[in-house]
Protein backbone atom coordinates (compact mmCIF):
# COMPACT_ATOMS: atom_id res chain seq x y z
CA UNK A 1 0.00 0.00 0.00
CA UNK A 2 1.27 3.48 -0.85
CA UNK A 3 1.92 5.86 2.03
CA UNK A 4 -0.69 8.54 1.28
CA UNK A 5 0.53 10.91 4.03
CA UNK A 6 3.15 12.24 1.67
CA UNK A 7 0.35 13.75 -0.44
CA UNK A 8 -1.05 15.88 2.41
CA UNK A 9 -0.03 19.43 1.47
CA UNK A 10 -1.06 21.27 4.65
CA UNK A 11 1.77 20.83 7.22
CA UNK A 12 -0.60 20.97 10.22
CA UNK A 13 -2.87 18.30 8.74
CA UNK A 14 0.17 16.16 7.82
CA UNK A 15 1.40 16.48 11.41
CA UNK A 16 -1.98 15.42 12.77
CA UNK A 17 -1.96 12.45 10.40
CA UNK A 18 1.56 11.50 11.63
CA UNK A 19 0.30 11.65 15.23
CA UNK A 20 -2.45 9.17 14.37
CA UNK A 21 0.13 6.92 12.70
CA UNK A 22 2.24 7.11 15.87
CA UNK A 23 -0.72 6.14 18.05
CA UNK A 24 -1.44 3.10 15.90
CA UNK A 25 2.20 1.97 15.73
CA UNK A 26 2.78 2.49 19.48
CA UNK A 27 -0.38 0.50 20.29
CA UNK A 28 0.84 -2.27 17.96
CA UNK A 29 3.99 -2.40 20.11
CA UNK A 30 1.92 -2.90 23.26
CA UNK A 31 2.25 0.64 24.56
CA UNK A 32 -0.56 2.58 26.21
CA UNK A 33 -0.87 5.95 24.47
CA UNK A 34 -2.42 8.94 26.22
CA UNK A 35 -3.16 12.27 24.52
CA UNK A 36 -3.19 15.37 26.75
CA UNK A 37 -6.40 17.39 26.65
CA UNK A 38 -6.07 20.56 24.56
CA UNK A 39 -3.00 21.92 22.80
CA UNK A 40 -1.15 23.54 25.72
CA UNK A 41 1.05 20.58 26.73
CA UNK A 42 4.66 20.70 25.53
CA UNK A 43 4.39 17.14 24.24
CA UNK A 44 1.97 15.27 22.00
CA UNK A 45 1.59 12.01 23.94
CA UNK A 46 2.33 10.36 27.23
CA UNK A 47 3.32 6.73 26.93
CA UNK A 48 2.49 4.53 29.91
CA UNK A 49 4.13 1.18 30.37
CA UNK A 50 4.04 -0.74 33.66
CA UNK A 51 3.11 2.40 35.61
CA UNK A 52 5.86 4.62 34.15
CA UNK A 53 5.13 7.62 31.93
CA UNK A 54 7.25 9.20 29.20
CA UNK A 55 6.53 12.40 27.25
CA UNK A 56 6.76 12.01 23.48
CA UNK A 57 6.71 14.70 20.80
CA UNK A 58 5.86 13.44 17.30
CA UNK A 59 7.67 14.97 14.33
CA UNK A 60 7.51 13.95 10.70
CA UNK A 61 9.40 14.71 7.54
CA UNK A 62 9.25 14.13 3.83
CA UNK A 63 12.00 16.68 3.13
CA UNK A 64 15.09 15.14 1.62
CA UNK A 65 18.42 16.94 1.30
CA UNK A 66 20.94 15.02 -0.71
CA UNK A 67 20.80 11.56 0.89
CA UNK A 68 19.33 12.56 4.27
CA UNK A 69 15.89 13.44 5.56
CA UNK A 70 15.78 16.68 7.58
CA UNK A 71 13.49 16.72 10.59
CA UNK A 72 12.83 19.78 12.74
CA UNK A 73 13.17 19.14 16.47
CA UNK A 74 12.10 22.53 17.81
CA UNK A 75 9.14 24.02 19.59
CA UNK A 76 7.90 27.56 19.05
CA UNK A 77 10.93 28.34 16.89
CA UNK A 78 13.50 27.29 19.50
CA UNK A 79 15.10 24.03 20.69
CA UNK A 80 13.42 22.04 23.44
CA UNK A 81 14.63 22.76 26.97
CA UNK A 82 15.67 20.10 29.45
CA UNK A 83 12.59 18.51 31.01
CA UNK A 84 10.06 19.49 28.32
CA UNK A 85 10.00 16.11 26.58
CA UNK A 86 11.62 12.71 27.02
CA UNK A 87 11.59 11.51 23.39
CA UNK A 88 10.91 12.59 19.85
CA UNK A 89 9.23 10.06 17.61
CA UNK A 90 10.42 11.12 14.14
CA UNK A 91 8.57 9.68 11.18
CA UNK A 92 10.22 9.54 7.75
CA UNK A 93 7.02 9.52 5.73
CA UNK A 94 8.25 8.36 2.29
CA UNK A 95 9.98 5.31 3.79
CA UNK A 96 7.47 4.53 6.57
CA UNK A 97 10.31 4.49 9.13
CA UNK A 98 10.16 5.68 12.75
CA UNK A 99 12.99 6.90 14.95
CA UNK A 100 12.45 6.93 18.72
CA UNK A 101 15.09 9.41 19.87
CA UNK A 102 15.78 10.41 23.48
CA UNK A 103 15.78 14.18 24.01
CA UNK A 104 19.39 14.23 25.19
CA UNK A 105 20.53 12.93 21.78
CA UNK A 106 19.51 16.14 19.98
CA UNK A 107 19.48 18.72 22.80
CA UNK A 108 20.10 22.25 21.52
CA UNK A 109 19.59 21.35 17.85
CA UNK A 110 17.05 22.87 15.51
CA UNK A 111 16.91 19.88 13.19
CA UNK A 112 18.38 16.42 12.79
CA UNK A 113 19.41 14.50 9.69
CA UNK A 114 18.01 11.00 9.42
CA UNK A 115 19.69 8.51 7.12
CA UNK A 116 17.64 5.29 6.99
CA UNK A 117 19.66 4.00 4.01
CA UNK A 118 23.00 4.04 5.89
CA UNK A 119 24.07 1.09 8.05
CA UNK A 120 25.91 3.45 10.40
CA UNK A 121 24.50 6.90 11.06
CA UNK A 122 24.26 9.24 14.04
CA UNK A 123 20.65 8.32 14.81
CA UNK A 124 20.66 4.82 13.33
CA UNK A 125 20.54 3.15 16.75
CA UNK A 126 17.14 4.79 17.33
CA UNK A 127 15.52 3.46 14.16
CA UNK A 128 12.35 1.59 15.18
CA UNK A 129 13.63 1.65 18.80
CA UNK A 130 10.17 1.24 20.33
CA UNK A 131 11.68 -0.67 23.24
CA UNK A 132 13.02 2.64 24.60
CA UNK A 133 9.43 3.59 25.41
CA UNK A 134 8.97 0.54 27.61
CA UNK A 135 9.88 1.93 31.00
CA UNK A 136 11.43 -0.64 33.28
CA UNK A 137 10.51 -0.13 36.94
CA UNK A 138 13.63 0.76 38.90
CA UNK A 139 15.65 1.58 35.78
CA UNK A 140 16.39 5.24 35.09
CA UNK A 141 15.40 6.99 31.89
CA UNK A 142 19.04 7.72 31.20
CA UNK A 143 19.93 4.02 31.36
CA UNK A 144 17.07 3.08 29.01
CA UNK A 145 18.11 5.74 26.52
CA UNK A 146 21.76 4.66 26.48
CA UNK A 147 23.33 7.72 28.11
CATH at residue 19: 3.40.1350.10
- 17 burial class (0-12, 13-18, 19+ CB within 10 angstroms)? middle
pLDDT-above-90 percentage for the chain: 56
Q: Is residue 144 part of a domain?
A: no
When divided into structural domains, the chain yields a total of 1
87 part of a folded domain: yes
The domain of 31 spans 4-135
Whether 127 and 96 have beta carbons less than 8 Å apart is answered as no
**Residue 99 within a domain:** yes
Does the residue 146 lie in any domain? no
The answer as to whether 97 is a domain residue is: yes
In a domain, 143, yes or no: no
| 56 within a domain of the structure (yes/no) | yes
**pLDDT (tens digit per residue) in 74-129:** 888 888 888 899 999 999 999 999 999 999 999 988 999 999 888 889 999 999 99
Average pLDDT over residues 45-59: 92
* Torsion from C-alpha of 3, 126, 140, 76, nearest 10 degrees: -60
Flag whether 142 is in a domain. no
The residue among 90 and 52 whose pLDDT is bigger is: 90
Amino acid sequence: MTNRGIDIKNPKQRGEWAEMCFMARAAAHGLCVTKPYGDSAQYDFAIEYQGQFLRVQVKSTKRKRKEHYCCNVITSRKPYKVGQIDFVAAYVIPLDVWYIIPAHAFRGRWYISLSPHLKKSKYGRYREAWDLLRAKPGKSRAARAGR
